[in-house]
Amino acid sequence: MGIRDELEAELTVGLTRCKVGRFLDTLPPDDAAEIGRIFSEGKYPGEAIRRVLLKRGFDGGITVMHRHASKDCCCVN
């Protein structure tokens, strides 16, 4: 795949999934579903969730986490 193809693929993915959504897509379905439930519960602070996900390879910031958790990102549009 050439660089132009990679850029086109990134643009397509970027329009449909935020950084959190793209990260969740890399996880096993059970783990992604559990994180979704954790976001929905609102029991844990976003920064605590982010620190755990950073250990698992996530590289996003707290703002994108909050936007995804509040369903204010491109994943739901």
The Cα-based distances of 55 to 38, 48, 50, 58, 76 in angstroms read 17, 11, 9, 7, 26
Tokens read off for 46: 């976003």
Q: Which two tokens stand for residue 60?
A: 């996003």
What per-residue confidence (pLDDT) applies to 5?
Answer: 85
What range defines the domain where residue 67 resides?
3-76
Q: What CA–CA distance (Å, rounded) separates 42 from 46?
A: 9
Report H helices in the chain. 3-16, 19-26, 29-41, 46-55, 62-69
Tokens 């994180």 found at = 35
CB atoms within 10 A of CB 27: 16
Number of domains in the chain: 1
What is the per-residue pLDDT across 8-57, written as a single tens digit (0 to 9) for each?
A: 777 766 567 899 999 999 999 999 999 999 999 999 999 999 999 999 99
